[in-house]
Structure 1
Amino acid sequence: MTRQLQLIIKPRITTKSSLNPPLEYFAKKMECIYKDPNAPVETRIKDLLSRMTLQEKIGQMTQIERRVATPSAIKDRCIGSVLSGGGSKPFDKANSADWADMIDGFQNAALDSRLGIPIIYGVDAVHGNNNVYGATIFPHNIGLGATRDADLVRRIGEVTALEVRASGAPYAFAPCVAVSRDPRWGRCYESYSEDTEVVRKMTTLVTGLQGQPPEGHPKGYPFLAGRKNVIACAKHFVGDGGTDYGTNEGNTIITYDDLERIHMAPYLDCISQGVCTVMASYSSWNGSKLHSDRFLLTEILKDKLGFKGIVISDWEALDRLYIPPGSNYRHSILSTINAGIDMVMVPFRFELFLEEFLSLVESGEIPMARIDDAVERILRVKFIAGLFEYPLSDRSLLDVVGCKPHRELAREAVRKSLVLLKNGKDQKIPFLPLDKNAKTILVAGTHADDLGYLCGGWTATWEGTSGRITDGTTILDAIKEVVGSKTEVTYELNPSPETFSGQDFSYAVVAIGEAPYVETGGDDPELKIPFNGAELVSVVADRVPTLVILITGRPLVLEPWLLEKIDALVVAWLPGSECQGITDVIFGDYAFHGRLPMTWFKSVDQLPLHIGKQNSYDPLFPFGFGLTCENKGDSN
């Protein structure tokens, strides 16, 4: 090991006992180097690895769900990691303190094991710490891609790290750096853009979550700045946004050169920022399942790109390698571990997993060298994260969760993400900004006063849901706050012609869009506006000047007649909990900033339609399109 590497991987976190330790402390550390926070990380790894049994090693390679993580299972099996699946929480509306209590309980069980190796607790904090009640919920990635603001994304990472740490978790399964080439894909909103360069620009979330590596930090070596940062996860390696027909977990049919150029490039940026973990994709590349693709996971990611952190599987991925699911579980373990997976998200049937895993190693089908490589990587991340010195939650962070500065940052992200697609029926007379002093306003639509719909999937539950799922401000709330008592605001979920009887509205704001969804449940070959959204708009726009706010995780079908009827159209994506960011812009306090991160198609028959298809690129709105309030396009 070079002196430079030794210096860089010396731990940054100092324990209280090491400041003025007694003599017996040093004697103990001489015998147990891995417990010495002042020893180089690689030395600690070597020492601890030499003390571990085979059962303890494969336990470290196992990640289980909290619902089966009993204290005895963690302690006796030396389990390496515990996670909360989407929506899995201590109880409904559990706050950060409740989460910290739960996670500390799991951690204490791990610390009570023979070697006292702490667990890594992982959560799906993909747009803020979105499972925790009261946390700040940021726009989903597609909205952040519309901002083109890499520094904003970095700051969001910093805030997310603080709120995740406050809950006791040191690991966030983010960012998703997929390049989404087809809006029919149910995870489209988890992608920043169809454009590789935009996605690369937004990988600053890694630095926000983990901290900024020092100059000269070794390429591929994981990094974590300290206790206010969390372990990040670049996902899903690789090509998940390029599957045929946008099918989730489908097949990406592409040459290696194009795979590298389009889909792999963002991982280089994540690795250069010291990302600690990379998650394999459910999808396939030219028919080869990524979870068992040794060429991509080991020869490319680990060897060519030099990644020294953990390669982790996705949820129950081993069960999905064969049809019917789970039909050849033993071979799934064999193929994934030998392909280069270091930690397996089991998450429930871990006893069978450990039994079959042990048998495969004892039979020689999985070599010990592969086990030691995986465990070295896992221990490396744990030492770098300071978990041996500070395994338990930091309760001093609880007060920052959902605090005003954090919500102001989310509000900034919302207003910068808005994309103005139409402003005025007459190009010479813009409709926006709206008049704050109007006498009467109609606010309507399924998404005007539904915080769950505004947050989208991966919020409170796995799929997301409707209603007041957390603390936040809806579009209706924000409008009422802006106009105050001087303006009469009428709200109708589904306005009918009778709504307008005897009423003289100055204008209407109609919010429509998609219900929450995740993954395969979001795959959609038609991409029509749900809940009869277009018809609802028609009822209103036929009678009063109308602004439509579209809440969506992707481009949807916009019929020509609909565009003709309305006066203005704003795409707000999935804005999250702070919708004052919408009113900041539509009422003119801030200018429109956002530009389309994806091409807006005319018809689903055109799909996939994205930049790079020059011979057939005929969009409704091109990639990068976005009007200002002066009705001037800005597609730079």
Structure 2
Amino acid sequence: MTQPTRPCALLVAVAVAFLAGCTAATPDGPPEPDPSTSAQRAGLPYLDASLPTAARVADLLGRMDLADKVGQMTQAERSVVSPEAVAELRLGSVLSGGGSVPEPNTVEGWADLVDGLQQGALSTPLGIPILYGVDAVHGHNNLAGATVFPHNIGLGATRDPDLVEAIGRATAVEVAATGVDWTFAPCLCVVRDDRWGRSYESFGEDPAIVGAMTSVVTGLQTESLGSEPTSILATAKHYVGDGGTTGGTDQGDTELSEAELRAIHLAPYLAAIERGVGSVMVSFSSWNGDKLHGDAYLITDVLKGELGFDGFVVSDWAGVDQLDGAEGASRQDVVQAVNAGVDMVMVPYEYESFIATLTSVVEDGDVPRERIDDAVRRILTAKVELGLFEAPMTDRSLAGEVGSSEHRALARRAVAESLVVLQNSGALPIVEGARVLVTGSNADDVGNQSGGWTLTWQGASGDIVPGTTILEGLQEALGDDRVTYAPDAEDAEITAGDHDVAVAVVGETPYAEFEGDRPGGVRLSPADLALLDRLHAAGLPTVVVVVSGRPMDVTALLDWTDALVAAWLPGTEGAGVADVLTGAVRPSGTLPVSWPRSTDRPVNDGDGSSPLFGLGAGLTYEER
């Protein structure tokens, strides 16, 4: 995904904010399954778990009318849908957009929300359970108190598929604890221009790196979808080429030959398919001027045919609406997208009109009934494989797994492995007993170090989630009496006599897609630059730690800084940064992207340019 804010950003954001305060259930609560209906279903083949999946799906499909089928192809946003609507319209799925959460935003609050909607689905004659989807892109990041792992660009720096698989497994457990069974992750974009606002969602610029990190699919789904109770459905997104748009423009145009598209952007999808990924999300972007949501060649011929993808294809947030250039999902939009191979359509708010339109175009013959049956068969197959017919409700015994010490320890390890030391003239590791000045805009801000897609879509600065900041990690490692903190160095006298070394933690503030594009380059803020100038003038040995979702313009710093470290967006466990700075963990991360001398144009390995630090760069320390 995804997200509520598009060209009409303000209007939708206001609507989401208003609706988020509303309850999805009626005052009387969700509808209870009809005992007589349940009795009538008892013994039907599609409910017999001993039968092969294909036989169960075929039996169920044969019992469905057009309304059942169209409903299964429809996904609505939780803030505007009720259990009664799920039942009446036979909805196949409900989602939470970024920041769309129940009240209270707790494990129990989520479980109550999802179970209420699930009861609506189970009350229907066929009792087909819903899929509930969220953007759990670096942990269950919509949930307050969940473990927030490093964003993908940091995980790409680890080059550790086993670690990434373990993160996928931990994420799946925390997601399952809330009743959610589907995540819109992993993002398999191959980022080719760091000015793009989604760069941090990419594992790197090299398709081989991205392909290796599809191990997260195995972590999320387990060896086979539904083989464990905490298995959740993964989504390979955004198909295809979203990381290669001209100028790094979000939802832009990827202008490449087919050979280039295949070599760079398609390869990770094959790796994910080989791991059994259950769903694929289509990109908002275009390929050579044609919107991906309507591209039958890439969706049906290549993805489903050539690559053999047998899961289901879901649209992005109202992405079908964009095909004809007019607002809303028109008849033309729906016909083109569904015939192109989109199986489930994310229509967050206008789900009723979409259902009416799709029903009409099928009845008129513009969309073949065989295409509808194919789409529904794929969706039902995922539901059967997940075991939703046998266990549709939340396993509330998992609540204690959310934010557990084990998961936070895993996240801390991931942070340490993700750090890339780019320059070091001896300032690192910080020696025991050193007097350290810690400063900078990102030194003591867990919101900044977590980045976008943390509690809300765009993320936010400040103490928004429980965790450990980089400052707190250094205080714990070195001792409070050895660490002086000055947020912008204005409150501390910066002299070499007062401190042995300064750690300046600078970089970006949170953003996500659309709002994160930086067409003019990715640069440090004036406040960060002023701070670094003061440190330089004082002659204090300085370690610069860059907290960001992509490379930033740091060329001017190299002639005076004693060490430069890329910390990416580490998430809630800032102590992992301290582990590397103090030498408790030797740095092992290497750049997953080329670091340009100037960020006003893209630089990639093999393109003939001369980066400041090349793909794979990274230093370590000698053994102590």
Normalised by the size of structure 1, how large is the TM-score?
0.89
1:432 maps to: 428
The yes-or-no answer on 1:459 pairing with 2:454 is yes
2:554 to 555, 558, 561: 558
The yes-or-no answer on 1:446 pairing with 2:438 is no
Answer yes or no: is the 8 Å Cα contact 1:161–1:208 preserved in 2. yes
Residue 523 of structure 2 aligns to a residue in which SS? coil
- Of 500-509 and 161-170, deviating more is 500-509
Aligned partners of 2:73, 2:43: CA distance in 1, in Å?
25
Deviation at 1:538, TM superposition (A): 1.6
Aligned partners of 2:117, 2:40: CA distance in 1, in Å?
26
The yes-or-no answer on 1:365 pairing with 2:376 is no
2:479 maps to: 484
2:597 to 586, 602, 616: 602
Aligned partners of 1:112, 1:521: CA distance in 2, in Å?
41
Residue 554 of structure 2 aligns to a residue in which SS? coil
* Pairwise CA RMSD: 1.9
Aligned partners of 1:445, 1:274: CA distance in 2, in Å?
44
Identity of aligned residues (%): 49
1:174 maps to: 185
Kindly provide the CA deviation profile for residues 495-532 of structure 1, in whole angstroms up to 9, marking residues without a partner as x.
23864389712221111111111111111022111353
- Of 536-545 and 186-195, deviating more is 536-545
Kindly provide the CA deviation profile for residues 154-209 of structure 1, in whole angstroms up to 9, marking residues without a partner as x.
00011000000001101111100111011011110000010011111100000010
Aligned partners of 1:502, 1:593: CA distance in 2, in Å?
30
Deviation at 1:252, TM superposition (A): 0.8
Unaligned ranges ≥5, structure 2: 1-38
Aligned partners of 1:35, 1:551: CA distance in 2, in Å?
51
The yes-or-no answer on 1:208 pairing with 2:210 is no
Aligned partners of 1:299, 1:501: CA distance in 2, in Å?
66
Answer yes or no: is the 8 Å Cα contact 2:41–2:126 preserved in 1. no
2:170 maps to: 159
Aligned partners of 2:492, 2:190: CA distance in 1, in Å?
46
1:186 to 181, 184, 197: 197
2:139 to 128, 137, 156: 128
Aligned partners of 2:420, 2:82: CA distance in 1, in Å?
48
| Number of residue pairs matched by the alignment | 586
1:529 maps to: 524
Aligned partners of 2:146, 2:257: CA distance in 1, in Å?
42
Opposite residue 344 of structure 1, the aligned amino acid is V
Opposite residue 286 of structure 1, the aligned amino acid is N
Answer yes or no: is the 8 Å Cα contact 1:441–1:505 preserved in 2. yes
Deviation at 1:30, TM superposition (A): 8.3
1:262 to 253, 261, 264: 264
Aligned partners of 1:29, 1:63: CA distance in 2, in Å?
25
2:418 maps to: 417
Kindly provide the CA deviation profile for residues 385-412 of structure 1, in whole angstroms up to 9, marking residues without a partner as x.
0000000111111111111111110011
2:296 maps to: 294
Opposite residue 508 of structure 2, the aligned amino acid is E
Aligned partners of 1:400, 1:196: CA distance in 2, in Å?
33
Answer yes or no: is the 8 Å Cα contact 1:63–1:346 preserved in 2. yes
2:21 maps to: none
Aligned partners of 2:598, 2:475: CA distance in 1, in Å?
37
1:325 maps to: 327
The yes-or-no answer on 1:382 pairing with 2:377 is no
1:141 maps to: 152
Deviation at 1:97, TM superposition (A): 1.9
Opposite residue 506 of structure 1, the aligned amino acid is D
1:40 to 48, 52, 55: 52
Aligned partners of 2:492, 2:239: CA distance in 1, in Å?
53
Deviation at 1:536, TM superposition (A): 1.5
Opposite residue 603 of structure 2, the aligned amino acid is L
1:233 maps to: 235
| Superposition pairs of residues 264-279 of structure 1, within 5 angstroms | 264-279=266-281
1:79 maps to: 91
Aligned partners of 1:72, 1:401: CA distance in 2, in Å?
30
1:342 maps to: 343
Aligned partners of 1:362, 1:251: CA distance in 2, in Å?
34
Answer yes or no: is the 8 Å Cα contact 1:515–1:530 preserved in 2. no
Deviation at 1:229, TM superposition (A): 1.1
Opposite residue 170 of structure 1, the aligned amino acid is D
Aligned partners of 1:30, 1:504: CA distance in 2, in Å?
77
1:309 maps to: 311
Deviation at 1:435, TM superposition (A): 2.1
Aligned partners of 2:52, 2:423: CA distance in 1, in Å?
59
Opposite residue 611 of structure 1, the aligned amino acid is D
Aligned partners of 2:497, 2:65: CA distance in 1, in Å?
77
1:16 maps to: none
Deviation at 1:612, TM superposition (A): 2.5
Answer yes or no: is the 8 Å Cα contact 2:486–2:492 preserved in 1. no
Aligned partners of 2:501, 2:259: CA distance in 1, in Å?
52
2:121 to 94, 110, 113: 110
Return closer, same or farther for 1:292/1:50 CA change in 2, 3 Å cut-off: same
Normalised by the size of structure 2, how large is the TM-score?
0.91
Shift >4 Å, 4+ stretches: 27-31
The yes-or-no answer on 1:624 pairing with 2:616 is yes
1:14 maps to: none
Answer yes or no: is the 8 Å Cα contact 2:427–2:501 preserved in 1. no
Aligned partners of 2:90, 2:194: CA distance in 1, in Å?
42
Aligned partners of 1:442, 1:91: CA distance in 2, in Å?
41
Deviation at 1:258, TM superposition (A): 1.6
1:68 maps to: 80
Opposite residue 519 of structure 1, the aligned amino acid is E
Aligned partners of 1:260, 1:626: CA distance in 2, in Å?
29
Residue 233 of structure 2 aligns to a residue in which SS? coil
Unaligned ranges ≥5, structure 1: 1-26, 214-222, 425-429, 632-636
Residue 452 of structure 2 aligns to a residue in which SS? coil
Answer yes or no: is the 8 Å Cα contact 1:542–1:565 preserved in 2. no
Opposite residue 593 of structure 2, the aligned amino acid is M
Deviation at 1:61, TM superposition (A): 0.2
Answer yes or no: is the 8 Å Cα contact 1:423–1:629 preserved in 2. no
1:216 maps to: none
Aligned partners of 1:628, 1:404: CA distance in 2, in Å?
28
1:549 maps to: 545
Answer yes or no: is the 8 Å Cα contact 1:538–1:565 preserved in 2. no
1:582 maps to: 577
Deviation at 1:442, TM superposition (A): 1.5
- Of 27-36 and 307-316, deviating more is 27-36
2:490 to 475, 492, 496: 496
